[in-house]
A and B are shown apart, each in its own frame.
Chain A
Amino acid sequence: MEKTKNKSAFLTKTLEIFKKIGRGIKIFFTKMYSNKKSAIGFSIILLYVIVAIVGPLLFPYDSTVNTANKYLAPSLEHPFGTDWMGLDVFRQVISGTSSVLQVAFFTAFLSIALGTVLGILSGYVGGWVDRVIMTIVNIFLSVPSFPVYLMMAALFTIETPITMALMISIFSWAGLCRAIRVQVISLKESDFIQICRVMNMSTGHIIFKEIMPNLFSYIAVNFVLILRGSILASVGIMLVGLASYNPTDWGVIIQAARMRGLMNVNNVIIMLYPLVAILIFQIAALMLSQGLDETINPRLKVL
């Protein structure tokens, strides 16, 4: 008897949690769609994610070389035509979407985690902790990132999206960390945090319940920006011909077409598909970040 009661209590509790999450998601979507920019940007990025997940199931990539149908014109069977080995370009681009997005999302999660934790630590604790973290941040901001990426890509074998993401996030957390630190320092001096301190609230409560919600908009915007930056970095590394672990990654497709010779119009057309895909993603991410900035940044609203 008691067990079932416990069970039902447990059930109602979980239901409540789900309702809370549902409400959160609903608020998230209404906020997202209240601004035109963020609505468009978010929809496009969602489309990319769906293509990355569902696309390879519907249009599996087939890597059997068939030189008989090389450079076919676009048709129903091959919407983007075929390349110099007779491979379908449409399927390549779709298969590359998941590869590119995996790197982007892993990088964004990793660098947001690192940047936020260290930024809050540095800003809130201050003193020598702050000085040490800021010195490390300064190094990563002053060493040119791209040559070091190339060096690392050449020295370590990069074969999975996760290792690629790890490598890119080594440099992309530093700017975020510095920005978060500045925010935390200005928040720390604000009245409501001072009151919390006077009321003897625990540090954990102040950080997670008072400071974090204020940083949320900032982190969300930066998440999108790092998404952008990591795609640029990973495609750039592959464009040089390094770390081409996945033959269908956009950067690898572009590089392969470039190596085949851009005098040939067919290669230029093959190169343009992933290029346009990258550009649309970039524009969408930029719109989403600007829209997010406008909707959830309370300071911009006042102005």
Chain B
Amino acid sequence: MEEKTWNEEAKRPSAFKRAGRAVLRFFKKNEYIFSKIGFSLLTLALTTIFLFFLLRQIPGDIVDIYAQQLQYSRGLPYERAYELAVQLLNYNPNENIFAAFFRYVGGLLRGELGESYLQEGVSANLLIEQRLPWTLFISSVALFISFFLGVAIGGYVAQRRNGIANKIASGYIAVTGAIPDYLMALLMVTLFAYQLKIFPSQNNFDIFTVTPGFNIDFILNVLYHAALPILSSAIIQTGYWIMQMRGSCIGILGSDYIFSARARGLSERTIRKKYMNKNALLPLVASFGVAFGGLFGGSVLLESIFNYPGIGLEITARITSKDYVVVQGLVFFSAAMIIIVNLIVDLIYPLIDPRVKRG
């Protein structure tokens, strides 16, 4: 009797074991997804530690300054104000390092990225809410323009490698590759805004002449102010995308299925549109995603040169005024966005190109 049950158990493992195996199988099946997610979480955690240690370098008396400020503005006793300051800043210089770290992570988990100790009621969250749309507006428009131009020109040029178009494109790539975007911006702003005075040299729209909202005046004014920043970064980025697309296309053009398409007498235009572009775009989609992730931090120099009120300008302004807690929050936000967008690209990419998962 006893032996029989033992045998049965050996044949059919307990429900617990079966569940465990099912979970293991599930993980093994989706190993790619879970390893990517795990790795991103690890990177995010280590990034947090890195930023935490950078934050620890802040001189200790800022909490004191902030506490005194709160004492005056809210009429609290000093001890109470100090407690509030520690809570708002997520930072206490007297704590040991572990307690401080848990406080910091706790604050981040609650979504409080950091309160300004110089300005009442200003926090990193508020700044992101206000500035992120503007940053995303100029940088994503520039990215989209340059990506589509680059893909179109790169594909066209790759098919005519001995033509004059390729020589012009090569020259353009070399020049734009050598000029950094912020020096281009500096040149543009000096020429068009300060000297010729065609375009404005600061702000995202004119506060005195237009009212924010969905009206034609406002939209035109915003575009007018965004034109120079978008133009200068699009000019530089287009060269990069042309180079990427041309390189990718040249690799594709050597493959057999393009030869067979040519042998069937298809026109170069059909080959480009129906055969070459699809495969050549695959690696570019990944780099496009990565580039898009980088937009959330804003380009610090570009925005400060144009005085465009985005996240980048906010970071520079806050660093110069020594508002480090807010800066740390903004940097954490942009790092987290880069990691998240990279993860999304990694997860979506196998759907577009199934070779990746197998390889």
B294 within 8 A of A: yes
Determine, out of B41-49, B63-71, B114-122, the stretch whose residues face the partner at the interface. B41-49
Q: Kindly provide the distance from the CB of B196 to the nearest chain A CB, expressed in whole angstroms.
A: 11
Beyond A142-B47, A271-B190, whether A152 also contacts B315 by CB under 8 A is: no
Q: Closest A residue to B300 by CB, please name it.
A: A146
Determine, out of B20-28, B84-92, B93-101, B333-341, the stretch whose residues face the partner at the interface. B333-341
Q: Closest A residue to B184 by CB, please name it.
A: A279
Residues of chain A with a CB closer than 8 A to B194's CB: 262-263, 268
Contact partner of B174 among A154, A242, A258, A286, CB < 8 A? Answer: A286
Q: Kindly provide the distance from the CB of A209 to the nearest chain B CB, expressed in whole angstroms.
A: 32
Contact partner of B195 among A148, A240, A258, A265, CB < 8 A? Answer: A265
B142 within 8 A of A: no
Which A residues, 207 to 226, have Cβ-Cβ distances below 8 Å to chain B?
A: none
A256 within 8 A of B: no
A282 to B338, CA, bound (A): 28
Q: Kindly provide the distance from the CB of B75 to the nearest chain A CB, expressed in whole angstroms.
A: 33
Beyond A150-B315, A150-B316, A155-B324, whether A240 also contacts B300 by CB under 8 A is: yes
Q: Which applies to chain B's interface (DSSP): helix, strand, loop or mixed?
A: helix
Residues of chain B with a CB closer than 8 A to A56's CB: none
Contact partner of B43 among A135, A147, A283, CB < 8 A? Answer: A135
Residues of chain B with a CB closer than 8 A to A155's CB: 54, 57-58, 324
Determine, out of B103-111, B175-183, B257-265, B351-359, the stretch whose residues face the partner at the interface. B175-183
Q: How many A-B residue pairs have CB under 8 A?
A: 108
Q: Is the CB of B316 within 8 A of A144?
A: no
Q: Which of B57, B190, B324 is most buried by chain A, counting CB atoms within 10 A of its CB? A: B190
Q: Is the CB of B50 within 8 A of A139?
A: yes
Q: A154-B319, A262-B189 are in contact. List 18 more A-B contacts (CB 8 A).
A: A138-B43, A139-B47, A142-B335, A143-B50, A144-B297, A147-B327, A150-B315, A150-B316, A151-B327, A151-B331, A155-B324, A240-B319, A242-B320, A263-B195, A268-B194, A279-B178, A279-B179, A283-B174
Tell me the B residues contacting A by CB distance below 8 Å. Answer: 39, 42-43, 46-47, 50-51, 54, 57-58, 174-175, 177-180, 182-183, 186-187, 189-190, 194-195, 294, 297, 300-301, 304-305, 315-316, 319-320, 322, 324, 327-328, 330-331, 334-335, 338-339, 342
- Pairs of residues from A and B, 10 with the lowest C-beta to C-beta distance, nearest first: A262-B194, A282-B178, A283-B178, A144-B297, A143-B335, A155-B57, A147-B331, A139-B46, A232-B180, A150-B319
